[in-house]
Amino acid sequence: MRILLVEDEEKVSRFVARGLKAERYAVDVAADGTSGLDHVRAYSYDLIILDLNLPGMSGTDLLKYIRKSHQHVPVLILTARDNISDKVQNFEEGADDYLTKPFSFAELLVRVKALLRRGPVTNSTTLRVAELELDRVVHKVKRGDKNIDLTSKEFSLLEYLMINTGRVLSRTMIVEHVWDQSFEGLTNIVDVYVRQLRKKIDEGHERKLFRTVRGVGYSITEDGA
Ligand code: CA
């Protein structure tokens, strides 16, 4: 999991970055809006933590850029202002959550984990890959006309794969998203769950959607190739 922290107050960024690294996240820090923009353009992040009052480009403008360039990364806004109209404006620009300063690291970590679990932001309630359809509201999955019964973990795993269609996800990424833990021992469980899920989704179909990339991980694609 790679997180970008855009924050000009060194005290805050040091404390947040140190805490997140201790939780085994990879953290890049940008100290102003412009360098935040450079990072956003150059790298792909699982989460962006964004201060609103920044030198250079403002947090709100950076957020606008992120959404305008169709990046679906979740964004957590940090602000000293507890101003309702600011909040409303930034939610409209595409912020996913808010934290008002001062905050404790524990509070931040709860929000970070929740946003990472949710994964890339997508406005659609239905995810589709070929004739496979996942309804995120009623928690139903169909392939063609056939309903597929999944356990809640299988559902979360499939949702994560489908949000990231075409992208190969490592076992570690899957564990962190679906199980919300990051210790090594759990990565074997991913193989077990993928095998079960794959059977339910692909068995009996000529077109296979699941793909295993040896030594790397798993993905779902239109044609499994
Ligand atoms: Ca600031």
CA-to-CA distance for 65 and 56, rounded, in angstroms?
14
Task: Tell me the CA–centroid distance for residue 53 and ligand 1, in Å.
Answer: 4
Average pLDDT rounded to a whole number, residues 73-98: 81
**Nearest alpha carbon to residue 97 among 68, 75, 66, 119:** 75
Q: What is the mean pLDDT of the chain?
A: 88
Task: Tell me the CA–centroid distance for residue 14 and ligand 1, in Å.
Answer: 13
98-145 pLDDT tens trace = 898 889 999 999 999 888 877 776 656 788 999 999 988 788 999 999
Burial class from Cβ neighbours inside 10 Å (0-12, 13-18, 19+) for residue 77 reads: buried
Q: Is the pLDDT of residue 151 over 90?
A: yes
> Does the reported pTM lie above 0.75?
no
CA-to-CA distance for 161 and 141, rounded, in angstroms?
13
In one-letter notation, the amino acid at residue 145 is: D
Predicted pLDDT of residue 126: 84
In angstroms, what CA-CA distances link 151 with 32, 52, 132?
A: 44, 40, 17
CA-to-CA distance for 48 and 141, rounded, in angstroms?
30
Angle among Cα 100, 102, 103 to the nearest 5 degrees reads 80
Strand-by-strand arrangement of the 75-79 sheet: 26-30, 2-6, 47-51, 75-79, 97-100
Task: Tell me the CA–centroid distance for residue 85 and ligand 1, in Å.
Answer: 18
